[in-house]
Structure formats: structure tokens, C-alpha cells
Amino acid sequence: MALMEGDYTYAIRPGENLYPQPANMYSKVADMYSKTANVYSRTVNRVLL
């Protein structure tokens, strides 16, 4: 994830400070989503198993 994010951020427009902030925001949202998915799957496993 971080490697793809770095490639997207710096390979397209090197030297510009426009895209790192949205990329960081996107990675934070993705981290939050994965944490939520982990909690949800744990809850489902507890209920079903």
C-alpha cells in the first residue's frame, strides 16, 4: 500500500507538493477501513463460531 502510494505520489509529478496530502489522507482512510473490517470479521467469527 505504502509503496504504491509512493509511486503514485512521486512518479507522476515529482517536485510538486500537491499530491502527498491526498495520498496520506487516502492511506489513513484505508487504514481505518481495514481496522473496521478486522473488527467486523472478529465479531462475525465470535457470533458464528
Show Cβ contacts of residue 26 under 8 Å, excluding neighbours closer than 6 positions: 5
Structural domain count of the chain: 1
**DSSP state at residue 1:** -
Angle at 18 between CA 31 and CA 1, to 5 degrees: 25
pTM for the structure as a whole: 0.41
Range of the domain at 38: 2-48
Kindly give the confidence (pLDDT) of every residue in the chain, 49 residues in length, as a single tens digit, with 9 standing for 90 and above: 444 454 544 455 555 555 556 667 788 888 888 899 888 888 888 887 6
Rounded Cα distance, 26 and 42, in Å: 24
- pLDDT for 21 equals 65
Q: How far apart are CA 8 and CA 23, in angstroms?
A: 8
